């Protein structure tokens, strides 16, 4: 499953799964999970470049990703962890001004979430390295300043519930990635920034997964106009 970035076929990303984050964007705290799809063409590996299309206000959202190990359809939460092969650290890059516009118009989020390089992703972390995924620290810095610093214990819906929900709608397959939502502190990043993110077990200095990305304005391609 270490090849999930090149073999997986979908990225299912949960929205508003931390109460503090829902509030910071003036959204209601959800009573059931909801999700959107990101294309696997948006993956970019550690050390790469996040390219921001012209006119786009790009926000970072650091998230714990669960990598699916085998086909999961209608899986109950009690069985769900058997389908998780491991984890990855991801950033759900979001074109916030594009998203604000489509939300008002009732249109899909796919463009706002799906640009090339909008899913920085770490290497694979085997499940055995994270005995309790509901107690992991995740943080994000830009230019050395801490912007997000959360713990997965603050998720509204845990990974088992998320897998139960998603797999009741669409079959999860080997290599699919489930992004589990972002803690508070999301904000803008722009041309010239250096973005770093990390995943750590509480009380341990060892970093389980790490991202260090350059942020650049994209040359060519889509231009967003309000």
Query: Using CB under 5 A as the criterion, which residues of the chain lie in contact with Mg ion when the complex forms?
Result: 36, 61, 92, 108-110, 182
Residues 6 or more apart whose Cβ sits within 8 Å of residue 38:
11, 13, 92, 113, 114, 118, 119, 179
Tokens of 153: 């214990």
Q: Is 55 a residue that touches a second copy (CB under 8 A)?
A: no
For residue 192, the minimal CB distance to a second copy (Å) is 23
DSSP state of 226: -
90 binds a second copy (CB under 8 A): no
* Rounded alpha-carbon distances, angstroms, from residue 76 to 41, 61, 65, 79, 162: 30, 28, 19, 6, 10
- Separation of alpha carbons 223 and 102, rounded Å: 15
Contacts (CB under 8 A) with a second copy, residues 203-222? 220-222
User: Which entry of a second copy, Mg ion, none binds 92, CB below 5 to 8 A by partner kind?
Assistant: Mg ion
42 binds, among a second copy, Mg ion, none (CB under 5 to 8 A by kind): a second copy
Give the largest Cα separation in the chain, rounded.
48
- Smaller CB separation from Mg ion, 25 or 201: 25
Q: The tokens of 155 are what?
A: 């998720």
36 binds a second copy (CB under 8 A): yes
Of 121 and 199, the one with the shorter C-beta distance to a second copy is 121
Q: Is residue 68 helix, strand or coil?
A: strand
170 contacts which partner out of Mg ion, a second copy, none, CB within 5 to 8 A by kind?
a second copy
Q: Is-contact 47 174, C-beta < 8 A?
A: no
64: nearest Cα among 93, 89, 44, 39: 89
Per-residue contact string for residues 106-135; x = within reach of a second copy by CB under 8 A: xxxxxx--xxx-------------------
Q: Which stretch binds a second copy (CB under 8 A): 98-106, 128-136, 140-148, 183-191?
A: 98-106
CA 153/CA 12 separation, integer angstroms: 20
Rg, Å, the chain Cα set: 16
Out of Mg ion, a second copy, none, what residue 164 binds, judged by CB under 5 to 8 A for its kind, is none
Q: What is the contact surface with a second copy in residues (CB under 8 A)?
A: 9-10, 12, 15, 34-42, 53, 73-74, 102-104, 106-111, 114-116, 168-173, 220-222
């Amino acid at each position: 499953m270490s090849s999930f970035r090149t073999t997986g076929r979908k990225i299912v990303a949960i929205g508003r799964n931390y109460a503090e984050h829902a509030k910071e964007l003036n959204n209601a705290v959800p009573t059931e999970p909801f999700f959107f799809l990101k294309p696997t063409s948006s993956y970019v590996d550690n050390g790469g470049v996040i390219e921001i299309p012209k006119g786009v206000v790009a926000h970072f959202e650091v998230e714990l990703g669960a990598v699916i190990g085998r086909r999961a359809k209608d899986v109950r939460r009690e069985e769900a962890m058997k389908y998780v092969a491991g984890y990855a650290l991801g950033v759900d890059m979001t074109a916030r001004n594009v998203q604000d516009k489509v939300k008002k118009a009732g249109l899909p989020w796919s463009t706002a979430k799906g640009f090339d390089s909008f899913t920085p992703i770490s290497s694979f972390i085997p499940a055995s390295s994270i005995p309790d995924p509901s107690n992991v620290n995740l943080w994000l810095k830009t230019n050395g300043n801490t912007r997000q610093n959360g713990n997965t214990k603050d998720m509204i819906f845990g990974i088992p519930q998320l897998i139960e929900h998603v797999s009741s709608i669409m079959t999860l397959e080997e290599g699919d990635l489930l992004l589990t939502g972002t803690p508070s502190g999301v904000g803008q990043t722009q041309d010239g920034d250096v973005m770093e993110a990390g995943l750590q077990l509480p009380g341990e200095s060892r970093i389980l997964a790490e991202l260090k990305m350059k942020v650049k304005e994209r040359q060519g391609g889509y231009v967003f106009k309000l």
